[in-house]
């Protein structure tokens, strides 16, 4: 089907609009999408440093050029601006037309000569690690004036769907190029290499999120040059190539709906602040835990904190206790139990590491607190932490002393969270 722009095939100006399925979905996914998109951009340029490919191509605002150049300089790479574009991402349409977006190539100094002189978009495809089959497919679609090759990707696909770029408008993608099909083996190989880079540089969690989103069920349709992409979390409308009849395809998948108020169960009014506090806590803990540690959170809410910690430390076993029955139900199966900390059922799990906020102990009767401290005495590592709300009552050292732990080694102090390790003296 001819879809090139001709006097009889009108093409709309670039546009993309999306809407979330609910306020909870927006609150939960929107910041995560941004985090994932930023992580992908970072991994794209790190892949050059790691030798996964010779070059990375990114669109940056003129104001980001200095950071990009310095980032490259400190890693022995070069940044070569190649051209200007009105688009924010390689194939995205999130920015208005203009010349303030600069396309840059991250490259090793020895490969610099292959980038310039710039003779059009296609000549560095190989350096960018784009598989030959995908480069051919690109030339046959975009190269001939198309503005979208999603339908061709789908029609080239046989069997199961593994890889796609359906959420590229949101910055969610696992490869930087448009794969020729949803099961292009070479694209899948590049995806795996990028995931290893992500893991190495601490973006494993964001890449897991990208994979989760890629696994959502999707319904795609197109008519008269307008695409509708519907997933359980959001609907995207964007420009495509003009077609006279309705085309559509569906991709099966799995979607886990964020539970309304899941962040409230953990004591936060919005998911963003919760994630930020959890992130700070995670980063101070993840390298302090012994291998294969059994980690228990006393007052675990729905277990989100430890579930994230396990993404960084897959070797650990996690569990927790909370008095909130609904939160524990949301934590799911495994070692998540409803109960009071002072009942000390959790000691049967023989934890190597316990996390607890000092406030839990000061809320108890002195007898219960004494009992709990006794149980904690046999745990090799006890981490105390406090979030912003309780830190207004005093710093963590002060709160820890009140809870009967006069000796702690401080690990992290931020306005959102403080963390310390209980020591004997
Ligand atoms: Zn391919």
Q: 226: CA distance to ligand 1 center in Å? A: 25
Q: In the chain, what is the straight-line distance between the N-terminal and C-terminal CA atoms, in Å?
A: 77
- Give the span between the Cα atoms of 60 and 66, in whole angstroms: 10
Q: 186: CA distance to ligand 1 center in Å? A: 6
Q: Quote the strand ranges of 209-359, DSSP E.
A: 218-223, 226-230, 234-239, 247-251, 294-298, 317-322, 335-338, 353-356
pLDDT at 95: 41
pTM of the model: 0.79
Note the pLDDT tens digit of each residue in 317-359. 999 999 988 888 888 878 899 999 999 999 999 999 999 999 9
Note the pLDDT tens digit of each residue in 93-112. 444 445 578 899 999 999 88
Note the pLDDT tens digit of each residue in 210-255. 999 999 999 999 999 999 999 999 999 999 999 999 999 999 998 9
Q: 152: CA distance to ligand 1 center in Å? A: 12
Q: 153: CA distance to ligand 1 center in Å? A: 9
Q: 87: CA distance to ligand 1 center in Å? A: 24
Query: Comparing C-alpha atoms, which of 167, 172, 174, 168 is closest to residue 195?
Result: 174
- Give the span between the Cα atoms of 259 and 391, in whole angstroms: 28
Please identify every residue whose CB atom is under 5 Å from ligand 1, which is an ion: 131, 133-134, 180, 184
Query: Which parts of 184-342 fold into alpha helices (H)?
Result: 185-200, 204-214, 271-285, 304-312, 325-331
Q: 207: CA distance to ligand 1 center in Å? A: 21
Q: 181: CA distance to ligand 1 center in Å? A: 6
Query: What is the chain's pLDDT, residue by residue, as a tens digit (425 residues)?
Result: 445 555 567 888 888 999 999 988 998 899 899 999 999 999 999 999 999 999 999 999 888 999 999 999 999 999 999 888 765 444 444 444 455 788 999 999 998 888 887 777 667 888 999 999 999 998 888 888 888 889 988 988 887 778 889 999 889 999 999 999 999 999 999 999 999 999 999 898 899 899 999 999 999 999 999 999 999 999 999 999 999 999 999 999 989 888 767 777 777 778 888 888 888 888 888 888 999 999 999 999 888 889 889 888 889 999 999 998 888 888 887 889 999 999 999 999 999 999 999 999 999 999 999 999 999 999 999 999 988 878 888 889 999 999 999 999 999 888 888 999 999 77
Q: What does the block give as tokens for 217? A: 């069920």
pLDDT at 258: 82
pLDDT at 143: 82
């Amino acid at each position: 089907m001819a879809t090139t722009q001709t006097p009889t095939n009108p093409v709309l100006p670039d546009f993309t609009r999306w809407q979330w399925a609910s306020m909870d979905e927006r609150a939960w996914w929107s910041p995560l999408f941004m985090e994932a998109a930023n992580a992908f951009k970072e991994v794209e340029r790190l892949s050059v440093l790691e030798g996964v490919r010779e070059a990375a191509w990114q669109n940056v605002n003129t104001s980001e050029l200095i950071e990009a150049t310095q980032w490259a300089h400190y890693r022995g790479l070069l940044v070569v601006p190649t051209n200007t574009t009105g688009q924010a991402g390689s194939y995205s349409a999130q920015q208005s037309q203009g010349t303030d977006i600069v396309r840059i190539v991250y490259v090793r100094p020895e490969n610099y000569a292959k980038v310039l002189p710039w003779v059009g978009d296609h000549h560095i495809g190989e350096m960018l690690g784009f598989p030959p089959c995908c480069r051919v497919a690109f030339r046959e679609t975009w190269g001939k004036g198309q503005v979208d090759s999603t339908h061709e990707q789908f029609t080239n696909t046989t069997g199961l769907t593994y890889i796609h770029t359906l959420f590229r408008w949101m910055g969610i993608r696992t490869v930087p190029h448009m794969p020729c099909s949803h099961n292009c083996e070479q694209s899948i190989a590049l995806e795996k290499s990028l995931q290893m880079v992500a893991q190495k540089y601490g973006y494993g969690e964001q890449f897991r999120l990208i994979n989760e989103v890629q696994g959502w069920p999707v319904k795609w349709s197109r008519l008269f040059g307008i695409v509708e992409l519907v997933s359980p979390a959001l609907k995207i409308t964007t420009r495509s190539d003009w077609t006279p009849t309705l085309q559509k395809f569906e991709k099966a998948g799995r979607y886990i709906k964020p539970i309304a108020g899941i962040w409230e169960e953990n004591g936060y009014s919005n998911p963003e602040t919760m994630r930020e506090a959890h992130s700070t806590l995670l980063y101070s803990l993840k390298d302090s835990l012994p291998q294969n540690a059994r980690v228990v959170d006393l007052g675990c809410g729905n277990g989100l904190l430890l579930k994230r910690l396990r993404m960084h430390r897959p070797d650990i076993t996690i569990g927790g206790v909370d008095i909130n029955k609904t939160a524990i139900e949301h934590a799911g199966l495994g070692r998540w139990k409803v109960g009071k900390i002072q009942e000390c059922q959790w000691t049967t799990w023989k934890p190597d590491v316990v996390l607890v906020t000092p406030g839990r102990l000061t809320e108890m009767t002195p007898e219960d607190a004494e009992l709990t401290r006794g149980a904690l005495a046999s745990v090799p590592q006890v981490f105390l932490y406090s979030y912003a709300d309780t830190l207004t009552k005093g710093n963590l050292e002060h709160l820890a002393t009140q809870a009967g732990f006069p000796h702690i080694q401080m690990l992290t102090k931020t306005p959102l969270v403080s963390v310390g390790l209980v020591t004997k003296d």
